[in-house]
Amino acid sequence: MSISRRAVLATAAGTAAAYASSPQSAQALADQVPAATVRTLRAAADYAVEKIRAVAPGVSAFPVGTKFEKWVYSQNGDWVGGFWPGTLWMAWLYSKDEELRTLALDSARKLAPRQHDTSTHDLGFLFSPSWVTAWRLTGDDTWRRGAVQAADSLIQRYNPRGRFLRAWGALDDPNNAGRVIIDTMMNLDLLAFAGRQTGDAKYLDIAVAHAKTAQRVFPRPDGSTPHVFDFDPATGAPLGPGTVQGYSPTSCWARGQAWGVYGFTTIYRRSGDRQFLATACKLADYAIGALGADYVPVWDYRAPQQPNDIKDASAGAIMACGLLDLSAATGRQQYRTVALRLLTALSRTCLTDKSARAEAVVARCTRNRPAEDGIEISLPYADYYLLEGILRVLQPRDVDRAIDLSAP
């Protein structure tokens, strides 16, 4: 794996018309992983499952982050509630430990009241890794119905004038009424799921409309993205970029860039629109070029102190999953090569395995640097996406059972 980032960018450049090669099968790709990488990823997965087994019986709510290496909890799940049951599902797929399956179901049930929550765009984060996965792995229709109800709540946030899903704030709250964030790309798959389950085209139509709006306003010419873009909610007219979690409106928040890579690839797989695939590649190429030699992303690729700035391992785990997906969608091995390097770097340098008191799996994550909130702590989505990424490499068919990796 000696390919340089420059070579990756050179090979990956081009428009959607260039992506004509047939994707290789998941198993064929899995068989190509170097033995040393397999050993590293398997050791990380073993450690993760051992940690989760030890901690999970004492978890009665939803982890949102750590303080002094111990989980801090939310009773209703905040925006991250789906990741704890999702992590338990990934650990069960890897270990086949039935106690983890039981705990995943128990945790997911606690999200039931959020099906009717119309105050947030984060219903995909809440219900895709928890309820959709539960339905796919158990066949119990309760989970499917709940996920569809969550999608019904989400589409109420659609603004037809601007063709976007509002990110934050209650439906009757004028504050942030025209605010769109790159993170929402990851919530669109819940709508695609509801469309497939109900046969009603409105869900995917809204998901695609939002994605096209995001595609128009977020990517800069170099492939970087802002965290936020604002519209006039009354007219739908664009107002301009902004940020909450990035360094500035002109910077590139690393986790947001990762959401974009993964989210645009997923909406391509659900819609078949190859322009979304081209956008995913553009965002991926920028992020790959911005990575440092250690392959652990800094929190913002354009912060003044980068590349010698604080890290966000969660951005690396999310991007690894997105790049594995993008490699399968385009047939381009270069994206997979970088994904493996990301997963290997996280497994070697970002686990909590040097601490006897740590309750999470992944360290060196940063939640909200501008607010000085959660600087290089552990975050539940880092644990989830690290395991998802490792299983995409080691057990691709199991991940497909859980989250649906089907092509258009």
CA distances from 297 to 10, 136, 160, 257, 397 (A): 21, 32, 36, 11, 28
CA distances from 252 to 11, 33, 246, 247, 333 (A): 23, 31, 6, 8, 25
Question: Which stretch of DSSP H or E encloses residue 244?
Answer: none
CA distance 223 to 279: 8
Say which of 78, 152, 183, 404 is annotated catalytic: 183
Question: Which stretch of DSSP H or E encloses residue 189?
Answer: helix 188-198
Find out whether 131 and 204 touch, Cβ atoms under 8 Å: no
Q: At what angle do helices 333-349 and 35-55 cross, to 10 degrees?
A: 50
Say which of 122, 152, 230, 300 is annotated catalytic: 122
Find out whether 228 and 181 touch, Cβ atoms under 8 Å: yes
Give the max Cα distance, the chain: 56
Helix, strand, or coil here: 218? coil
Question: Which stretch of DSSP H or E encloses residue 166?
Answer: none
CA distances from 311 to 206, 364, 369 (A): 35, 6, 10
Can you point out the beta strands (E) in 156-222? 158-159, 164-165, 179-181
Active-site annotation holds for 122? yes
129 DSSP 8-state letter: I
Active-site annotation holds for 200? no
Nearest by Cα to 223 from 385, 9, 2: 9
118 DSSP 8-state letter: -
Q: How many residues does the chain have?
A: 408
CA distance 353 to 298: 21
Active site positions, annotated: 122, 183
